Amino acid sequence: MRWLLLKDLQILRRSPLLVSLLVIYPIVIAVLIGFAISRGPAKPRVAFLNEVPPSASVLELNGEKIDVAQYGKQVFSRIDPVYVKTEKEAIAKVKSGDVLAALIIPADLTQKLSGGTGSANVRVYYNAEDPVKAQFVQDTIKAEVQDANTALTKQFTKIALNYLDLISTGGNISIFGKSFNVLGLAKSEAIVNAAQSGLPANSPLRTALGQVSNFARLARQNLNLSNGVLAAVGTPIKADQKIINGSRTPLDAFAVAIAVTISLMFVTLLLASGILALEREENAFLRLVRGLVSRTGLLIEKIGLAALCAILVSLLMLAGIALFVSLAWGRFPLWLVSLVLGGLGFGAMGVAIGGITREVRAASLLAFMLALPIAFLALVPSGAVSSGLYDVIRVISALFPFKPTLDALDAALNKSGSIGLPLVHLAILTVAFGVIARLSLRRFA
Amino acid sequence: MQQDSAQATPAGAGERAVVLEAREIVKRFGEREALKGVSLEAGRGELVAIIGPNGAGKTTLLSILAGIQRADGGNVSRSPAEVGWVPQQAAVYSKLTVAENLRLFARLEKRPDVADVVERMLAQTGLEERRDDPVAQLSGGNKQRVNIAIGLLSAPEVLLLDEPSAALDPRQRERLWEFILDLAATGTTVVYSTHNVQEAERHAGQVVVLADGEKLFAGSPRELEQIVGATDLDFEEAFVAFLRQRGH
């Protein structure tokens, strides 16, 4: 069998174009898909005009100074600002397509915010000739304004709480540069109680003072509850996230697993199906199985060679990725086990394809036709489609090695979930596809 | 022509040592009986041509003798490992050179003397100068030589050739037959199928005529002509007349 293996390597070595395509194509596809999945759209270029004069960017509430410009920075976290000098210039940039949208902060923004009489408006201009682009701009600006609102609300809430605390416990307050002392409900209650106890037992004022004292106590107690109420107003709904299935793999790390799995799949499927079909195209199959090599041995050699080449390509890819993304090299044995079983699974599927199609071109075409849908189906997240359809997709994905390989690699690379089950799954698929391939050899010659 | 045949069958004239024997071979494909109890015998150094119309069962018979297909009945005296087999289409790797192909199959045959065998085969096929050429660059005739050389790597006593000269031009065919006749002259029994009846007349000591899976005749070309009875016919005409007489 080793001579056969060497022969196939020799043939590959003499097919540099094929080998280059086999290596480069899957890597390019994998990297593109990985990037598409891991990265959202780049920060949109947005023309930005802040008409608020620097001297007016700070608003003062109850002695608390709020710099609105600070909250503007929050908007810039998701956009690439292009500073302009006039609103006209901003609109021109939107029209020319130089920027996706324009965001204008009017001069009276802080004034309106400090007045507290209504919402302060910002102006947004964008082209809507492309509905996707328009939706993207709307979503981005809406999200950014919402974030700024939340941040400002928190600040206003903090000030309101200070006021309430002052009313409850008393203290000093500064208004228009003058300092005032506020008695506060707690001290008022104490004073009223002291006055009440100084009155004769039958004084009619006792009852009246008792009512005032009760009011002060109840008001103070209820004001203590206002902290929570106001905090809830600031952030009425909080998302408490708990993972039911899957793992908390960062998107970049998951993209690495996807990219490597796609490369592994393409190289192994194309190579295994092609080199088996080549034995028939060269008319060598019958000569080989006429006592020189068993049919099963021939399949094992093809699966092994394809898996070996694909594992090497995948490891090279991981080494390259490691230059940009931090990978846990301490888990290398687990990477290797995942790659080996994934490679064997795809290799067995590849020889099944080669055995059924019996021609190199037909085998390559079928391998391509199967590979892409299998990969995309395995990446459909739950909830993206109806539950019935998702169940069908899960069953289909389970019939091919992509999903378990991805799960195993994700577990190996990103410590997410169990690695055992996907590996067992892959072993079962390897045997199943191996049996299909072996049966297909009955009518191979 | 007669002279060629006589030269090619050194064992035919004297005491005949049978080296390959097939008895009552039956092969069915579903309802269709492709071979109906066909028997065959070949002596050392004998050239046996299996001829017949399309669908007669020539390739099926050779495949069974080579061990590629299993017979549904009957038996063959030699195991597949004991006979060399050369398929109709050259079964060689076009990306490998002539020497690499020979070396690969010699290793797979587990020959202990790989280098020697390869050199011997290169010399025997006259391809020493083309040893480092990829097979893809060879002519059809030279490809077929490599194909035959691979069949001979295990130095079999019996070599089976399936239409060895098909798709070759007359010059290539002539050179190929020189090579095959040399093999027979050194004692290798060659059993081949062919559509070319004249080739059978010229290069076979024994012709086996198959039609619809039945063996209609086994003997020398002259015996076939005698059976037909007409003296003014050439071998091809005699062969057609013979088939007609037998209802084919």
ipTM > 0.90, yes or no: no
Residue B12: predicted pLDDT: 43
User: Which of B29, B82, B83, B95 to probe the A interface (max A CBs under 10 A)?
Assistant: B95
The length of chain A in residues reads 445
Q: In this model, does residue B6 exceed pLDDT 70? A: no
Most confident range (mean pLDDT) of A342-346, A406-410, B234-238 is A342-346
Question: Tokens representing A346?
Answer: 């795809």
Query: Which tens digit of pLDDT belongs to each residue from A5-60?
Result: 899 988 888 888 888 887 787 777 767 766 666 555 567 788 888 888 877 777 66
User: Residue B11 pLDDT > 50, yes or no?
Assistant: no
Q: Residue B10's pLDDT is what? A: 42
Tens digit of each residue's pLDDT (9 = 90 or more) over B76-109:
998 888 898 999 888 999 999 999 999 999 999 8
Asked if the Cβ–Cβ distance from A4 to B150 is below 8 Å, we say no
pLDDT of residue B3: 36
Q: In terms of Cα–Cα distance, which of A284, A270, A310 is closest to B95?
A: A284
Answer whether B70 touches A (CB < 8 Å).
no
Integer-rounded Cα radius of gyration of chain A: 35
- Quote the minimal CA–CA distance from B61 to chain A in Å: 15
Which of the four pLDDT bands, split at 50, 70 and 90, describes residue B119?
very high
**Phi, psi values for residue B161, rounded to 5°:** -125, 125
pTM value is 0.69
Backbone angles phi, psi at A98, to 5 degrees: -65, -35
List CB contacts (< 8 A) between B96 and chain A: 7, 10-11
Comparing CB atoms, the residue among B81, B90, B134 nearest residue A291 is: B81
pLDDT in tens, B188-205: 999 999 988 888 888 899
Read off the tokens for A100: 């996706």
Average pLDDT over residues A288-300: 91
Q: Assess contact for B231 and B198: CB atoms under 8 A.
A: no
Chain B nearest C-alpha distance from A263 (Å)? 26
Is the model more confident about B9 or about A274? Answer: A274
**If interface means Cβ-Cβ distance under 8 Å, which residues of chain A face chain B?**
3-4, 7, 10-11, 14-15, 282-284, 286-288, 290-293, 445
Cα-based distances in Å from A81 to A72, A105, B71 = 11, 13, 82
Top pLDDT among A394 and A164 is at A394
Q: Do B108 and A290 touch (CB under 8 A)?
A: no
Alpha carbons A308 and A200: distance in angstroms, whole number: 102
Question: Helix crossing, B140-151 with B114-125: angle to 10°?
Answer: 140
With cut-offs at 50, 70 and 90, classify the pLDDT of residue A255: confident
Q: CA B168, B171, B175, B177 torsion: positive or negative?
A: positive
Residues B12-40: tens digit of each pLDDT? 445 668 889 999 999 999 888 999 999 99
| Per-residue pLDDT band at B42 (split at 50, 70, 90) | very high
Mean pLDDT of A215-244: 67
Where is pLDDT greater, at B9 or A245? Answer: A245
Beta pairing class for B73-76 and B83-86: unpaired
Residue B183: pLDDT band by 50, 70, 90 thresholds? confident
Residues of A within 8 A of B100 (CB-CB) are 7, 10
pLDDT at A298 over 70: yes
Secondary structure class of A286 (helix, strand, coil): helix
Chain-chain contact of A284 with B67 (C-beta, under 8 angstroms): no
Nearest in space to A422 (alpha carbons), one of A434, A436, A410, A435: A410
